[in-house]
Amino acid sequence: MHRSTGPVRLLRAAAFASVLAGSFAGQVSAKMPYFSVETSPTEPIAGEPIRIVVRFWADAGHTSAAPFEWEPTMDDLLVIRAESGAPEVGVFLQLRQPGRFEATVTLEAGDWTIVAFPDRTGWATPEVPEGYPDAIPIAVREPALDPWRVAGPLVVVAMVIVAGAFALLLWARRTPAGRDIQVTE
């Protein structure tokens, strides 16, 4: 068996160390910090804005903020899927503070689900690890009937009737009593 000595051995050791470090660095940098998702309002209404807040954490218990280098936007962490089969809605998150991203969406009435990690291609299992949200249901209600939408036209009709009755009353008072009545003997 031939053993390398001197500079050749040193070069091989350096090459092995860089390959080893590179393989670990890829795994560490690919790890997503733990995060939580909040929505407001808690009972959203169709057509009105829904704010989605994502906070990143250093631990699965979500007790301390994650020290992480943040990109200004994230567009592939969350999607919103409708139970009705409507096209999914992308959630385009923008950095608001270190570790805090926000997005605003509007949805039609119905049952929706915010899905974290929408592309799970290559995952060993489809389950999301502890400390990460998986599927967050959102029930979007129809807007309540605005009473002014119904009452407004009714008020206009009532005003027209009152104005017409008032005009008739004024016309009747201007006409002298008995002017149109003819007495024949």
Predicted local distance difference test score (pLDDT) of residue 24: 30
Predicted local distance difference test score (pLDDT) of residue 180: 58
| The pair of three-digit structure tokens given for residue 49, joined into one six-digit string | 């804005």
Predicted local distance difference test score (pLDDT) of residue 85: 87
Predicted local distance difference test score (pLDDT) of residue 36: 94
Which stretches of the chain drop beneath a pLDDT of 70?
A: 1-30, 148-151, 171-185
Instruction: Write the DSSP assignment of 23-44 as a string of letters.
Output: HHHHHHHHPPPEEEEEEESSS-
74-111 b/e with 16+ CB inside 10 Å = b? beebbbbbbeeeeeebebbbeeeeebebbbebebeeee
Predicted local distance difference test score (pLDDT) of residue 22: 35
pLDDT in tens, 51-90: 999 999 999 899 988 887 888 999 989 999 999 988 999 9
Those residues whose C-beta lies under 8 Å from the C-beta of residue 38, and which sit 6 or more positions away, are: 52, 53, 55
